[in-house]
Structure 1
Amino acid sequence: DLFASCAGILDKTLPDTMAEDSVSILPALEGKATEPIHEAVVHHSINGSFAIRQGNWKLELCPGSGGWSAPSQARPRPRNFLRSSSTTFPPTSEKPATSRPSTPRSWRR
């Protein structure tokens, strides 16, 4: 996305054979995006863990958080952005978080 975004900033058109999967995020940076730039986003941590985020859903098929915290040998568990202490979900269930935005507060203006 960096390649296409830089091309957009410079008002250049990329050839079809260059950076084929790059999508400009310039509209989002300029505050002009009216919809998500990507259908899903892949997160990659320093320890090699991957997660895929789509809307309010996040799929993590790795133990531990994969974030900046110390490495963890935690067991994989279902995660949801809307948690309730009275609700537990079996490993294969899914429940969207509809009452909370998918963008962390620290990313918002």
Structure 2
Amino acid sequence: MPALLAATDVMVLPSDSEGLANAWIEALACGTPIVTTDVGGAREVLVDDSAGRIIARPPGATVTAITALLATPPDRRVVRQVAERFTWERNSAAPFDHLSEMVNHR
């Protein structure tokens, strides 16, 4: 799968509903920018336009975002760096710390 994601120019996931989609992180980790709707954790992942675009639901917005990324592709190293903050260690530590804090305040 990483070879396929790395070979693509843009990964598009125009979902109605998502949490923090693993597919976003996997694409970014391969250096592939993403286009996704403003759902779930999209704004947590894409805090600016350096690794992709967050779009509205109308199909025209999807076409516009893809066209922009194809015309001016982001540096794949920069795209990969966006995914680096989503490690298994960090993703497991955050809920563990939160739950530990809740237990300690009982």
Q: TM-score, normalised by structure 2?
A: 0.29
- Provide TM-score, normalisation by structure 1: 0.28
Which of the pair has the greater relative contact order for Cα pairs under 8 Å at 6+ separation?
Answer: 2
More helix by proportion, 1 or 2? 2
Q: For the pair shown, which has the larger CA radius of gyration, 1 or 2?
A: 1
